[in-house]
Amino acid sequence: MADSTGDMLCKALDLERKALDFYTDAQARCPSELARKVFGVLAEDKLRVARRLAEIHAALNQGISLVSACRLTEEETQSPGVFAELKAGYTGVPGECRAELDVLLLAMEVEQACLKHLEDQLREARDKDVRFFLELAMEEERGHFVLLSDMRYYFERFAESAAKK
């Protein structure tokens, strides 16, 4: 395994662990049932990605190619309707979501930082296998950002409707 690939994987793993810590903390602090569910899903996903990165690193150390080590299975990809599934049955109290928006904006910043890091790495990457890995990782992070964006929209609308009453 090339040193640059190992460095890239270590940096990606570090980012995933920091994001996992953030989502675990956000899940514990948020009073909203829906926010806890969403942050729980994101924390589980970050944990899964961190484990997957560790597996990829081990596979590379055994001489397996990056492309072969990075193949994703169907069940590892997030479904686009995950937020709709999470909010089904949500019985939050109007107005409680205002406090969630601050945490949510921070979460979006976390995902933007992850995306920026991956984009920077992709700009520098010359190896086609490394580029392949980075593109898969960016797709995953974009999915997280979309989930958070959907949640933000929902909470903003919920807060606005509560303020009008």
Non-local CB neighbours of 10 within 8 Å, separated by 6+ positions: 57
What is the C-alpha R_g of the chain?
18
pLDDT of 94: 45
Q: What CATH number has the domain bearing residue 145?
A: 1.20.1260.10
User: What span, in angstroms and rounded, lies between the C-alpha atoms of 27 and 36?
Assistant: 5
Query: What is the band of 83 on the pLDDT scale with cuts at 50, 70, 90?
Result: very low
pTM assigned to the model: 0.68
Residue 31 has pLDDT above 50, yes or no: yes
- For residue 131, give its domain range: 3-164
Alpha-carbon torsion angle 112, 115, 120, 125, nearest 10:
180
Reported as a single tens digit per residue, the pLDDT across 90-140 is 455 544 545 567 777 888 888 888 888 889 888 988 878 778 888 888 888
Count of structural domains, the chain? 1
- Nearest of 35, 146, 15, 49 to residue 101 by alpha carbon: 35
Residue 72 has pLDDT above 50, yes or no: no
Q: What is the DSSP letter of 30?
A: -
